[in-house]
Amino acid sequence: MVMERRTVDEWMDGLDGWMNERRLSIILLQDEDQMGLTEEEIRAGVDTFMFEGHDTTASGISFILYSLACNPEHQKLCREEFKKDGKYLWRLLEWQRNFSGAIPLWYGPLACVLVVYHPDYVKAILTTSEFKKEFVYSFIQPWSAEGLLVSNGQRWFRHRRLLNPGFHYDVLKPYVKLMSNSAMTMLDKWESYARSGERLELSEHVSLMSLDSILKCAFSDKDSCQTQSGLNTYIKAVYELLSLVNLRFRTLLYYNNVIFYLSPHGFRFRKAFRITRKHTEEVIRKRKEILRQEKEQGKEQTKRHLDFLDILLLARDETQQGLSDEDICAEVDTFMVAGHDTTASSISFILYNLANHPEHQKLCREEVMQALDGKDTFEWDDLNKIPYTTMCIKESLRLYPTVPLILRSLTKTLTFPDGRSLPAGTRVSISIFGLHRNPTVWENPSVFDPLRFLPENVSKRSPHAFIPFSAGPRNCIGQNFAMNEMKVVVAQTLRRYQLIKEPDFEPLLITRLVLCSLNGIYIRLKPLNAAS
């Protein structure tokens, strides 16, 4: 059989032709209400796809493949990177040794990202408002719409101002009991691992527990998704969306919107999105009716605590204008995205670190037991009674930051303290992983040492040396919520179990939406009474 020899351009033109046929068939489809597009909208859609998705993508991919063919040493490094062997973040640390504050990374012949990891550089970037989120954040946008995570400009300022009351300590206070109940449910399920001595993979269990807490705090859900015989449709859709967003992050072809949305994964994404959006809209409709009835009966805020959805529905700006239903859906979905896997990743690595360092685990347990003073559950007033445990949590966040990289595009020229400048349009990546392990900032950066966070030691460092929740005007609005949940889960776990290191296990770190481990995060458990 003789194969036809084709140039890269010919191959890409053929692919574009096939994609355009698929694209037209999609445009002619009707939605669930049997409503299609008008002829004018169809013509506009086809012409837009032809204009934006043809020569642009073909040219870019052609030159990328040509450049890799001409540079086999870089082609080899790219191939190794796609193996996802858990070494990428460590390679960044190796490269950092040769550059004092930043390194340029090239992705093909056209895309360059400046990776920064020195506090002075990080401060200059995070304290300016002259940037926009990088395009990869748009992968989340179909789900979270124009929520805080991806919005910019005046829309972001208005939403941030309206949402701030939702994270006031008076609102967060009743959440502690909900978090404690979710943690207790997870710990009950761990009894079988403690009795058998079987190793426990933390990520899956902690992720479901974190989702359980989010649902209780956001929607006042009464049922626990941890105890249901099977995950309900909404929970399955949430996990499906998270999985598909992660898949898109690590699949280069899916960076193209057209290719992704016409793929089987794109179809699954849209199906899962419709399920989550329908659920959120229904919850909002029912809650509006409840609030209306409570207001009529004069019982508002008397019989139950305010949850996140209440805050969104009741929020008003200086002109007494609230959020639209679409805005509320966007912020609820953003809360699910930003508050679920992030906290789950943090807690998993915290428990892993405590298992690996029994001397620190022992001190934390003694502190927790003293704070509980015979109680079974952790309460709001106990949060400030565990300073050493809090230092251990922060040290774990230093070594294993939940979001190891932040991407930005500059909209104006930025000048660093050393006089160097970056022009508008430059892509920058803040390597929080590299910053937190920068040897010019941290002594023995790979050593787990909670005493780094004693007040006298913290005062000697730049405030931008440790940024697990980012910093500046766009820092994480839910950081107090997250820290409270970490404290509660760690305290409840240490009260009940001794955490034991899994021999010869090391997590293979990869960057997805959050920091993950390719090979899981394993520890072993022993019931505390048996351990003592």
3-class SS string, 371-413: HHCCCCCCCHHHHHHCHHHHHHHHHHHHHCCCCCEEEEEECCC
Q: In this model, does residue 478 exceed pLDDT 70?
A: yes
Q: What is the DSSP letter of 470?
A: B
Q: In this model, does residue 494 exceed pLDDT 70?
A: yes
pLDDT at 231: 64
Residue 73: band (very low, low, confident or very high) from pLDDT cuts 50, 70, 90: confident
Most confident of 147-151, 244-248, 319-323, 385-389: 385-389
User: How confident is the model over 162-187, as a mean pLDDT?
Assistant: 91
Q: Look at residues 333, 338, 364 and name the one whose alpha carbon lies nearest to residue 351.
A: 364
User: How confident is the model over 59-75, as a mean pLDDT?
Assistant: 81
Higher pLDDT, 310 or 491: 491
Name residues whose C-beta falls within 8 Å of residue 502's C-beta, 6 or more positions apart in sequence. 199, 355, 522, 523, 524
Contact between 439 and 96 (Cβ < 8 Å) = no
Paired sense of beta strands 427-431 and 111-116, if any: parallel
Q: Tokens representing 464?
A: 């931008």
Higher pLDDT, 497 or 418: 497
Contact between 258 and 49 (Cβ < 8 Å) = yes
- Cβ-based neighbour number of residue 8 at 10 Å: 15
Name residues whose C-beta falls within 8 Å of residue 13's C-beta, 6 or more positions apart in sequence. 58
Q: In this model, does residue 530 exceed pLDDT 60?
A: no
Q: In this model, does residue 285 exceed pLDDT 70?
A: yes
pLDDT at 84: 58
Q: In this model, does residue 525 exceed pLDDT 90?
A: yes
User: 231: burial class by Cβ within 10 Å (0-12, 13-18, 19+)?
Assistant: middle
Rounded Cα distance between 514 and 521, Å, is: 14
Q: In this model, does residue 32 exceed pLDDT 70?
A: no
Q: In this model, does residue 230 exceed pLDDT 50?
A: yes
Please state the pTM of the whole predicted model. 0.81
Rounded Cα distance between 100 and 183, Å, is: 43
Q: Look at residues 221, 186, 181, 182 and name the one whose alpha carbon lies nearest to residue 205.
A: 186
User: How confident is the model over 274-285, as a mean pLDDT?
Assistant: 88
Residue tagged 């007040």 (tokens): 455
Higher pLDDT, 456 or 170: 456
Could you report the per-residue pLDDT of 416-450, keeping only the tens digit for each?
Answer: 998 999 999 899 999 999 999 999 999 999 999 99
Q: In this model, does residue 314 exceed pLDDT 60?
A: yes
Could you report the per-residue pLDDT of 265-279, keeping only the tens digit for each?
Answer: 999 999 999 998 888
- Cβ-based neighbour number of residue 100 at 10 Å: 13
pLDDT at 438: 96
Cα distances from 381 to residues 169, 384, 386, 425, 484, in angstroms, run 12, 7, 11, 48, 11
pLDDT at 36: 64
Q: In this model, does residue 212 exceed pLDDT 50?
A: yes
pLDDT at 125: 93
Range with the lowest mean pLDDT among 112-116, 249-253, 282-286, 486-490?
Answer: 249-253
Q: In this model, does residue 222 exceed pLDDT 90?
A: no
- Cβ-based neighbour number of residue 71 at 10 Å: 13
Contact between 147 and 333 (Cβ < 8 Å) = yes
Range with the lowest mean pLDDT among 28-32, 269-273, 357-361?
Answer: 28-32
User: How confident is the model over 245-272, as a mean pLDDT?
Assistant: 87
Name residues whose C-beta falls within 8 Å of residue 445's C-beta, 6 or more positions apart in sequence. 436, 437, 438, 439
Q: In this model, does residue 203 exceed pLDDT 80?
A: yes
Higher pLDDT, 421 or 531: 421
Range with the lowest mean pLDDT among 196-200, 240-244, 341-345?
Answer: 240-244
pLDDT at 131: 65
Rounded Cα distance between 210 and 218, Å, is: 12
Query: Mean pLDDT score of the chain, rounded to an integer?
Result: 84
- Cβ-based neighbour number of residue 421 at 10 Å: 9
pLDDT at 178: 93
pLDDT at 1: 37
Residues pairing with 428 in the sheet: 114, 408
Q: What is the DSSP string of 47-81?
A: HHHHHHHSHHHHHHHHHHHHHHHH-HHHHHHHHHH
Percent of the chain past pLDDT 90, that is, above it, reads: 43
Q: Tokens representing 526?
A: 């022993």
Higher pLDDT, 162 or 448: 448
Residue tagged 């251990």 (tokens): 392
Q: In this model, does residue 499 exceed pLDDT 70?
A: yes
Rounded Cα distance between 244 and 265, Å, is: 7
Q: Tokens representing 103?
A: 């390194």
Range with the lowest mean pLDDT among 106-115, 237-246, 426-435?
Answer: 106-115
Residue 227: band (very low, low, confident or very high) from pLDDT cuts 50, 70, 90: confident
Q: In this model, does residue 150 exceed pLDDT 80?
A: no
User: How confident is the model over 278-291, as a mean pLDDT?
Assistant: 86
Percent of the chain past pLDDT 70, that is, above it, reads: 84
Q: Tokens representing 229?
A: 């015989």
pLDDT at 304: 59
